[in-house]
Amino acid sequence: MRSLAIVIILLISSSLSFGQDKKVAPQGMQFSKDPQVQQIRPKKPLRIKLHRNAKGEYTWDITGDNVDEIIRADARLRRLLKLD
């Protein structure tokens, strides 16, 4: 008996939710296309490949789009590995 009542309640609530128009945005929410926002792209990260030879010395390959970031990464690696 109890399960029958639960099934009936579920059927009624689901039929009421199907009658609502889901294409309408809630009040206060407006969407628009802004061409400036569409042109923003995230920065590509630097790619650093660190190599160590048989003598224990380090070398690396740094690739990326921004030359300033490559120079900063190179200086930081030299400082961290105490090559200067």
CA dist 41 and 24 (Å) reads 30
For residue 15, name the pLDDT band (cuts at 50, 70, 90). low
83 in a structural domain:
yes
Answer yes or no: is 48 within a domain.
yes
Residue 79 domain flag: yes
- State mean pLDDT over 14-36: 65
CA–CA dist 53, 47 (Å, integer): 20
CB atoms within 10 A of CB 74: 15
Question: pLDDT for 27-69, tens place per residue?
Answer: 777 777 777 666 777 788 999 999 999 998 889 999 999 999 9
Instruction: Tell whether 4 is covered by a domain.
Output: no
State the total domains in the chain.
1
Domain around 68? 44-84
63 lies in a domain?
A: yes
